[in-house]
Each structure stands twice: as C-alpha cells, then as structure tokens.
C-alpha cells in the first residue's frame, strides 16, 4: 500500500482561539487569559498575534538609538544570584569605580560617534557619598549638554533613599536636578516574592520597585520596565509580572518601553541553570506584546539575545532595537558573545532585511531621523 502523507493544520486550543479573537478585535485580555498566553508554546500563533499588534501600533517602523553605556561602579552590596558584573568590595579582581574625571574622559571619548544617550547604571556601593553621583551627572552634562542621561535603576534609588535618609521623591528630584533625564527598567527581575527570595533577596522588592516608578511618572520622568526571565520562575509568575506592569501603566502612563531580559548564566552563582533558548526568547517577546496592551514599545536588547535573533524578533512583536550600545559590561561579564557595538549601518541593515523601516529615535522616542 502506498504511504500517504497527511498534512494536518493543527487547530489552536479553544482558549487560544478565543484569545486570538480578542486580540484581533483589540479587546484587553483578562488575567486568566494572560496566564494562558504565558503557558502557551504555540510560537507561530502567538507570533502572528504579536505582529498584528506591533503593526497596528507602529506599522513597519523599527526604532533604534545611538547610545553608550557607562557604569560608574560595579562595587555592589547586593547578592543577586544571576549577576556576574558586581564585585562585593573595592580591590577585588575587576572591581572598578570611576572618578568623576575618569567618567568625563570616557564620555569625551564617545562623543565623536554622535550618541544621543548614555545608559548609566551602577552597583550599590557602600562607601560613596550621594554627592558623588550628583557630581558625576553634573560633570557629564557640562561635557555633553545634549546627551540624554538615562540612568539609576529603581533599585539604586531605593538603596540611596535608605542609605542617605531621603524619600524616593527627594532622591529622584536631586538626580534630575543634577542632569538625569529618565530611568531605565533594570532591577525589576520577577516580581513574585518566591522568585526574589531565591535570586535577589536583598534589594528593593516588587512594591518598592513599582512605587519608585509610580513617583517618577508623577514627577514627569519617563521610565522603562524589564523582566529577567529564565531563572526559576514559572509561566504564571511571568504573567503576574507583566500584569503588575500593565496595572501601573493604566494608572500613570509613564512607561515607554518593555524590555524582556534573557538570563545569561556564565560566571554567576546560578551558572548550573540552562539559559533560555532562541525559541523561549521569541515566545516571551510575543507573549509580552500580546498582554502588555498599554506600553507602546517592545524593545529587543540585542546584546543579550544576539543581533540575529533580535532581528527576527521584529516579526514577533518587537519594534525597537537597543541601540548602538557601545561599551556594555553587564552581559559581557555574564558570557554574552555579541559584538561590542553595532554601527548605525549594521542596525539599519538588520532592520531593512526584516522588511522594516529604520527610524532613529532619541531616548524619549522623538524621531531624530530616517536614514537614507
Ligand atoms: O537589572 C543582570 C539584568 C539588568 C544578568 O531600560 C541580567 O532601556 C540576565 O535593565 N542575565 C540591567 N539578565 C539591564 C537593563 C537594561 C538593559 C537595556 C536597556 C534598558 C532600558 C535596561 O540586567 C539588571 C538585571 O535585570 N541582568 N545580570 C544576567 N546574568
């Protein structure tokens, strides 16, 4: 008997079919449906829905920016178990704290590349006065007045408030007065207390992280948000994380972009855990785009998922590639093997080859230009 090849198109489970219907009609998913989305591993179905949302919001545009990273210090009291960047004390191998003069010299070196943004995040250093950070901000601003400083995560702000006896609002206002322009999304990790206890037990908790972003938004300071996935969290805990971000965004509207961050295991206390695969990474982009209906931008941080996967992610909900990213250290020290920077030409090539239109943006998503 001749073998017949039967090609059957799998039909989505009834719950995903209902979710697909809602997404097509632009109706918000409820919490149970959000969990369903994060449980599903139907990459193509989710990708198609995420792409629909992405194109509804942004058409064919993919944003990028010209930026560089500066970490004033990697000396850090916290003991996050995923981190390969921090050093507990000065003098340990690879511990580095910039003097203000060194920070300024580093910024001057970057200026010929025409950056519009410096991404400045730091360890929780037990021995520096708060004035050091203010001086560093003022000095960078005096050196490059047009450069937008996106820096100081909620975790740092929480630490300074406790250490120097200030309210969150005071810390943010003093940093802004010294030159801070916006706050990055780091330190959110996974909000569930069960996970935080296992991977980052001694820094700002979920309520504190969210409260700092709430205050920043009230003060008119834009922020981003992240989710570190691939350590010990469940699908339900990912859904809960994203739903808490959605709820705060309903309240304030101050988040600009969501950036999923894939766990990198090298040189960290969690190095026995496997890293998320490319399939997982695309799933998380698509799932996040579907559930987070009120945060405009979904950013792929190519440094940690690789530039080729970041490119493909443009078909799974992503509309923003960060960025030229000169001098990144947090992921390089955790084993990322991506290049040290991408040129504007490289970024535009990745974007165009995926059938999208590259648009240069500044940190707060004003259009800087459309490259020829
Ligand atoms: O807070 C640290 C994460 C974050 C590892 O807001 C790790 O525009 C995986 O927040 N494996 C810092 N993740 C990076 C960050 C970020 C990056 C790009 C853009 C923006 C933005 C924010 O990276 C940390 C932590 O969540 N992280 N170590 C690791 N081994």
Number of domains, the chain = 1
| Residues of the chain falling short of pLDDT 50 | 1-3
| Residue 345 domain boundaries | 42-357
Residue (of 55, 52, 22, 54) closest to 37 by Cα position: 22
CA of 189 to the centre of ligand 1 (A): 8
Whether 24 is covered by a domain: the verdict is no
The predicted structure's pLDDT at residue 334: 85
Q: Check which CATH number belongs to the domain holding 146 and give it.
A: 3.20.20.70
Alpha helices by DSSP H, 3-42: 14-25, 31-39
Whether 372 is covered by a domain: the verdict is no
Whether 265 is covered by a domain: the verdict is yes
pLDDT tens-digit readout, 93-143: 999 999 999 999 999 999 999 999 999 999 999 999 999 999 999 999 999
CA of 1 to the centre of ligand 1 (A): 58
Known binding residues are 76, 80, 82-83, 189
Whether 3 is covered by a domain: the verdict is no
The encoded tokens of residue 8 equal 């059957």
At 44, which helix (H) or strand (E)?
helix 43-58
* Residues framing ligand 1 (Cβ under 6 A): 82-84, 153, 184-187, 189, 224, 226, 228, 259, 261, 263-264, 268, 301, 322, 330, 334
Whether 4 is covered by a domain: the verdict is no
pLDDT tens-digit readout, 247-257: 999 999 999 99
CA of 312 to the centre of ligand 1 (A): 21
Q: Considering only CA atoms, which residue is closest to atom 18 of ligand 1?
A: 301
Q: How far apart are CA 146 and CA 155, in angstroms?
A: 26
Beta strands 357-361 and 367-369, pairing class: antiparallel
Whether 317 is covered by a domain: the verdict is yes
The predicted structure's pLDDT at residue 371: 72
Answer yes or no: is the ipTM higher than 0.90. yes
The predicted structure's pLDDT at residue 277: 97
The predicted structure's pLDDT at residue 3: 47
pLDDT tens-digit readout, 46-70: 999 999 999 999 999 999 999 999 9
Q: Considering only CA atoms, which residue is closest to atom 12 of ligand 1?
A: 186
């Amino acid at each position: 008997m001749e073998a017949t090849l039967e090609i059957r198109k799998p039909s989505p489970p009834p719950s995903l079919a209902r979710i697909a219907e809602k997404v097509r009609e632009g109706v918000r998913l409820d919490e149970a449906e959000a969990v369903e989305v994060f449980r599903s591993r139907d990459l193509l179905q989710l990708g198609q829905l995420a792409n629909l949302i992405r194109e509804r919001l942004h058409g064919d545009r993919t944003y990028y920016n010209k930026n560089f990273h500066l970490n004033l210090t990697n000396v850090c009291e916290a003991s996050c178990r995923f981190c390969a960047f921090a050093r507990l004390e000065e003098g340990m191998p690879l511990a580095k704290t910039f003097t203000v003069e060194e920070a300024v010299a580093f910024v001057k070196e970057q200026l010929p590349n025409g950056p519009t943004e410096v991404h400045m995040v730091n360890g929780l250093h037990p021995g520096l006065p708060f004035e050091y950070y203010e001086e560093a901000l003022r000095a960078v601003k005096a050196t490059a007045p047009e450069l937008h400083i996106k820096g100081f995560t909620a975790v740092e702000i929480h630490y300074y408030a406790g250490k120097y006896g200030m309210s969150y609002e005071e810390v943010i206002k003093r940093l802004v007065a010294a030159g801070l322009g916006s706050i990055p999304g780091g330190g959110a990790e996974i909000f569930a207390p069960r996970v935080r206890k296992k991977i980052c037990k001694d820094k700002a908790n979920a309520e504190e992280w969210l409260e700092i972003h709430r205050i920043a938004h009230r003060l008119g300071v834009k922020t981003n948000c992240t989710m570190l996935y691939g350590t010990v969290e469940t699908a339900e805990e990912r859904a809960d994380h994203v739903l808490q971000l959605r709820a705060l965004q309903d309240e304030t509207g101050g988040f600009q972009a969501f950036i999923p961050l894939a766990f990198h295991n090298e040189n960290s206390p969690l190095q026995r855990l496997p890293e998320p695969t490319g399939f997982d990474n695309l799933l998380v982009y698509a799932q996040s785009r579907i559930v987070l209906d009120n945060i405009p931008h979904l950013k792929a941080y190519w440094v940690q998922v690789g530039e080729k996967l970041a490119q493909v992610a443009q078909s799974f909900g992503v509309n923003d590639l960060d960025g030229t990213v000169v001098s990144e250290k947090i992921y390089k020290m955790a084993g990322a093997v991506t290049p040290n920077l991408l040129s504007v030409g490289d970024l535009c090539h990745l974007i165009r080859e995926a059938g999208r239109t590259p648009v240069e943006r500044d940190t707060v998503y004003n259009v800087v230009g459309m490259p020829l």
